[in-house]
Amino acid sequence: MTVTIYHNPACGTSRNALALIRHAGFEPTIVDYLQTPPSREELVRLIADAGLTVRQAIREKGTPFAEKGLDDPSLADDQLLDAMLAMPILINRPFVVSPLGTRLARPSETVIDILPETFKGAFAKEDGEVVLDAEGKPLR
């Protein structure tokens, strides 16, 4: 099974999603989207496949979102997409794609929904929050 993660190694949520994918027994294709942003078509597909709106897929925290006036409700999706492609830090993360679906893995354990149940043992996020029990079953 092929899994792809649009990853930011500086983001704890992204690191936790990557660790969960590996805990399930998969070595994903890792796309450092800050260095290699998706094309417009890829970004539109990721957002649609994840069942999100463009506004839901744009990152506000720790980005120039407000500074660039992107909080203006009159901006069209195309304008927001233009901004996301010009400044990839505005793309929320991590997007994860598997044959079972696409998710914006926020929180990171959302990735569990698109992975087969191949988890072996407990898993805790970087902050110590346990998301899989000793049998590899989700605690949510």
Question: What residues act catalytically?
Answer: 11
8 A C-beta contact, residue 101 and residue 111: no
Per DSSP bridges, beta strands 4-7 and 95-98 are antiparallel
Q: Which residues partner with 6 through β-bridges?
A: 31, 95
In 3-state terms, what secondary structure has residue 88?
helix
Rounded Cα distance, 6 and 112, in Å: 16
Structure tokens that stand for 47 in this block: 């957002």
